[in-house]
């Protein structure tokens, strides 16, 4: 192996070849989007939903969902309604919140691809990489930049409202009503407990 290939690159290649590579978009984004879709249902009931209830609805740890909502609140996607029967609500209309907004709130803004400048490491160059090999943007990196641009455009083109519409079209007609009934049944329970928004 060429001496310029670092251990980190080698480890990354091994992970990719073994299938042990992480998805670019985290599972947290998936759960956050599901929670936000349920908030649309809660909004139609005129009441917020707690992180604990949303976690219970999806059978995930409440602490995990609470951390997601901390990020979503910081990004201005949700607002907390404090007090008895409080919870979280969308900070702006579902038509104004995009999938890209949620991804960046949960995962941060990160590049699709990180160029390792492997083009400089050809064994034929020895330790003297010619200028032409490093001229301009790497051709592979250029493709990845274009892919990231298009990906961001697609994600920015889908809102919570449009995703909710697609989900509703797929589910049985009574499913949305059952979700609303489930959420509505939780509000009196939270009032008895006096739970705050995060409870």
pLDDT averaged over consecutive 10-residue blocks of the chain (199 residues)?
46 49 78 94 82 92 94 96 81 96 94 90 91 93 94 96 93 87 73 50
> Tokens 């709130």, residue?
105
Among candidate residues 80, 99, 87, the one with its CA nearest the CA of residue 37: 99
- Give the list of residues 6+ apart from residue 96 with CB closer than 8 angstroms, or none: 159
pLDDT digits (tens, 9 = 90+) for 108-120: 998 888 899 999 9
CA 129: distance to chain centroid? 40
Single pTM value for the model: 0.77
- Give the list of residues 6+ apart from residue 195 with CB closer than 8 angstroms, or none: 50, 52, 84, 86
The alpha helices in 46-86, defined as continuous H runs, are 51-58, 62-74
pLDDT digits (tens, 9 = 90+) for 35-56: 999 999 888 777 889 999 999 9
């Amino acid at each position: 192996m060429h001496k310029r290939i670092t251990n980190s690159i080698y480890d990354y290649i091994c992970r990719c070849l073994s299938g042990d590579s992480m998805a670019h978009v985290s599972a947290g984004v998936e759960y956050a989007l599901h929670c936000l879709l349920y908030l649309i249902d809660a909004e139609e009931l005129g009441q917020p939903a707690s992180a604990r209830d949303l976690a219970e609805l999806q059978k995930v740890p409440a602490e995990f969902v609470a951390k997601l909502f901390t990020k979503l609140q910081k990004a201005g996607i949700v607002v907390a309604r404090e007090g008895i029967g409080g919870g979280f609500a969308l900070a702006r209309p579902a038509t104004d919140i995009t999938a890209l907004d949620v991804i960046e709130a949960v995962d941060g803004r990160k590049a699709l691809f990180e160029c390792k400048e492997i083009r400089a490491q050809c064994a034929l160059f020895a330790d003297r990489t010619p200028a032409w090999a490093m001229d301009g943007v790497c051709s592979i990196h250029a493709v990845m930049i274009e892919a990231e641009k298009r990906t961001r455009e697609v994600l920015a083109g889908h809102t919570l409202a449009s995703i909710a519409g697609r989900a509703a079209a797929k589910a049985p007609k009574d499913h949305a009503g059952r979700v609303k009934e489930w959420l509505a049944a939780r509000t009196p329970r939270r009032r008895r407990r006096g739970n705050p928004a995060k409870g």
